Amino acid sequence: MIVSIDEIQEEIIDEFSMFEDWEERYQYMIDLGKELPLIDDQYKTESNIIKGCQSKVWVHAEMKDDKVEFTADSDAIITKGIIAILIRVFSNQHPKDIIDADTSFIDKIGLKEHLSPTRANGLVSMVKQLKMYAIAYQTQLN
């Protein structure tokens, strides 16, 4: 059964609402980062680094059965948690669904307002980059 992007976003909103404060939410994000499907070392290249992030974030995308599969890594624990959340939402989804996805869950969990301005910009860059991969794959499908 394929879980839709919206369903995954709802799960994340529910998970974040269980925590009382941001200290616990940050800890949860760090834990999610530890479970991140790690990028293969061969893809830790300059071309896979997301521009606009303060820390280094590498993302690799592959197309499997008309779905985009993402792997990633970061040299910063909070950033690794952020990309882990985004990959959970977008990985194994059809490119068109990724392109059309609404990412309002980021505001609903209050993520952007609890990040430093540079991290918030990095978050926007990560979303943009994941969508760019999806656009590239969608073009191949057409």
Active site residues: 53
Residue 57, beta-bridge partner list: 74
Backbone phi, psi, residue 18, to 5° = -75, -20
Per the listing, tokens 């071309």 go with 47
Per the listing, tokens 């197309």 go with 63
Helix (H, G, I), strand (E, B) or coil at 96: helix
Please tell me the distance from the alpha carbon of residue 63 to that of residue 53, in angstroms, as a whole number: 25
